[in-house]
Amino acid sequence: MSFEDNLIPWIGKTGKLIGATLNKILKDKNINLTREQFVILKLLKKNNGIPQHDLAFITESDKTSLSRLISNMEKNNLLIRKSTKEDKRIKNVYLTEFGLEIFKITEPIILESIQKFQKGITDNEINQAIQTISKLQNNIIKEHSIKLCDKK
């Protein structure tokens, strides 16, 4: 068996390319937001007030990286942190008006880009690839009970 027959290198390389390209597109459009920050905004849009460690879990980030990412975004008024009364350790993260505004500007740009990326690929092909990658993801998470984050 060789590497070229395996999905893993393909995903690694293409993932890198996608990340770099999306960041570049945002920068070229003068949007002061990284791809990683956009993902946070998207999660908050769907689930406002989510605790930091849930964000770390979902994004598969180290909690310290996420802490600093959130700090930067808070400095830029994209979101705010609020400690809960029930558990003073937890800081819930809320989208600000400005954060929502930036999200609404950025979302169509990202969607347009990824549609361009997927041009000429059928819905069926996309769904099948998603299913396969999903299996892969489950295998990795199960086989190695990875401590990328502190989630119990």
Partner DNA sequence: TTAACATAGTTGTATATGCAACTATTGTTT
Partner DNA sequence: AAACAATAGTTGCATATACAACTATGTTAA
Q: What are phi and psi of 145, to 5 degrees?
A: -75, 75
Nearest C-alpha neighbor of 50 from the set 74, 106, 58, 107: 58
51 binds, options its own copies, DNA, none, Cβ within 5 to 8 A by partner type: DNA
| Closest separation in Å from C-beta 88 to its own copies | 31
Contact status: 58 vs DNA (CB under 7 A): no
Cα–Cα distance for residue pair 74/82, rounded to 1 Å: 11
Residues recorded for the chain: 152
Cβ atoms of 23 and 84 within 8 Å: the answer is no
**Chain contacts with its own copies (rule: CB under 8 A):** 1, 3, 5-8, 10-21, 24-25, 35, 42, 59-60, 111, 114-121, 125-137, 139-141, 143-144, 146, 148
Four-CA torsion 84, 82, 91, 42, nearest 10 degrees: 120
| Closest separation in Å from C-beta 108 to DNA | 23
Q: Which of 2, 64, 122, 124 contacts DNA by CB under 7 A?
A: 64
Residue ranges that bind DNA, judged by CB under 7 A: 20, 24, 34, 36, 51-53, 56, 61-65, 67-72, 81, 86-92, 148, 150-152
